[in-house]
Amino acid sequence: MTSQQVRVHNLTVSRDGYAAGEGQSLERPFGHADLAELMAWILGTASFPGRTTPGGSRGVDDHLAREFHRHVGAEIMGRHKFGPQRGPWSDHEWTGWWGAEPPFHTPVFVMTHHERPSFTLADTTFHFVGGEPEDVLRQALAAADGKDVRLGGGADTVRQFLDAGLVDTIHVAVAPLDLGGGSRLWTSHDELTDRYEHDVVPGRHGVVHHLYWRE
């Protein structure tokens, strides 16, 4: 057995299963979803990957937030996590939502059918890759230098990898709100229990953490 795993961390969905709302735009990466409400459980933790100020809460939520970086050597993300554009890249000005110091610190593979040169911000290099999940994963595993690959989302990308049987462990936080539409991960958290072991851990702010892994 290889020691490299494919992991989903901190993917937050509404009670009705949406990881983002409808109408993504430059101003609203999560569409009509209220980011602060959806992500309340993690935004206040000490270890929130995008945190730029000291302080923050500890406890179960923070413990799970910290898993984001542990033993991760590369990330795969869908194009809609990287930005709101659709179709061919009209320019290369857009470098993601994360500013000059993205919180990844590893190679990141952005899945897109449209070619674009790689570029580097601080210690994160973004590669733009087409092909099936298996092809993208092969490149990410090679780049991860023996460490794990984080599957960063969004929901569509995670579902593609789940359908291909490529995901080893999954952490989904279910937030206490409904979105009614958008980018859907699942209809029910029971959908994965035929293929995965399942653990449920309650967190703060009404969030419920669902953990899945393969024996």
Residues contributing to the site for a second copy (CB under 8 A): 3, 46, 58-60, 62-63, 66, 71, 73, 146-147, 197-201, 211, 213
The Cα–Cα gap between 19 and 193 comes to: 19
Q: Which is nearer to a second copy, 37 or 199 (CB)?
A: 199
Shortest CB 202 distance to a second copy, Å: 9
Q: Which is nearer to a second copy, 9 or 159 (CB)?
A: 9
Shortest CB 146 distance to a second copy, Å: 5
Alpha helices by DSSP H, listed for the chain, are 35-38, 40-43, 60-66, 79-82, 133-143, 155-163
Shortest CB 111 distance to a second copy, Å: 25
Q: Is 135 helix (H, G, I), strand (E, B) or coil?
A: helix
Burial call 46-66: b when 16+ CB within 10 Å, e when fewer: ebbbebeeeebbeeebbebbb
Mode of pairing for the β-strands spanning 124-129 and 119-121: antiparallel
Shortest CB 191 distance to a second copy, Å: 18
Q: Which is nearer to a second copy, 54 or 87 (CB)?
A: 54
Q: Which is nearer to a second copy, 120 or 193 (CB)?
A: 193
Shortest CB 154 distance to a second copy, Å: 25
Burial class (CB in 10 A: 0-12, 13-18, 19+), 134: exposed
Question: Phi first, then psi: what are they for 47, rounded to 5°?
Answer: -105, 10
Q: Which is nearer to a second copy, 41 or 82 (CB)?
A: 41
Q: Considering only CA atoms, which of 79, 73, 74 is closest in space to residue 94?
A: 79
Q: Which is nearer to a second copy, 90 or 188 (CB)?
A: 188
Shortest CB 96 distance to a second copy, Å: 24
The Cα–Cα gap between 97 and 95 comes to: 7
Residue type, 167: V
The Cα–Cα gap between 203 and 145 comes to: 33
